[in-house]
Amino acid sequence: MIILNSEHLQQMKTHAQTTYPQECCGLILGTITPKFKQVLEIREAENSWSEELGEILPLGGSSKNERFFIAPELLLSVQKEVRLKQWSIIGIYHSHPDHKAIPSECDRLMAWAEYSYIILSVLGGQVEEYFSWLLDDNHQFYPEIIQLTK
């Protein structure tokens, strides 16, 4: 289970709607206990997907409307920063413009087992649904419960 408050959700929704029709992306920061993940901060990131990445990575899709990429140097710097607070990067969020909030094959191939993946479906510029996903031992996604607090 992942616990986030309504402000965290609104921040992700706003980011997804303002970047539409491109995919937005960002980091989910917080703490992990044996029973749940607690979101403490949402950190927006630039979608660094490029045509060059599309040629290097065999993932299909050539534009930011279909793919997202978070620069490795950003991941590393945020990881160092949150470690000082005794937090972790606990997940990644991104949007699916004009598609359902279910992981794509590209999402599965790029995913890391320890992260939660919140996907927001943006239809016509408005977030319609959102779900969180985790990877199982066979590197397949399954739904994660989202507990929304005020």
Within the chain, residue ranges assigned H as helices are 6-19, 51-56, 72-84, 105-110
10 Å CB burial of residue 5 (0-12, 13-18, 19+) is middle
Q: What is the pLDDT of residues 104-143, one digit of tens each?
A: 998 998 899 999 999 999 999 999 999 999 999 999 999 9
Query: If you search the block for the tokens 């965290």, which residue do you land on?
Result: 8
Q: Note the pTM of the prediction, 2 decimals.
A: 0.95
Cα 126–Cα 130–Cα 131 angle in degrees, nearest 5: 170
For position 78, which CATH number holds?
Answer: 3.40.140.10
The domain total for the chain is 1
**Number of separate helices (H) and strands (E) present in the chain:** 4, 8
**Per-residue pLDDT at 117:** 98
Q: Give the confidence band of 60 by pLDDT, cuts at 50, 70, 90.
A: low
Instruction: Provide the residue range defining the domain that includes 119.
Output: 2-149
Q: What is the pLDDT of residues 16-36, one digit of tens each?
A: 999 999 999 999 999 999 999
For the record, the structure tokens of 111 come out as 């995913």
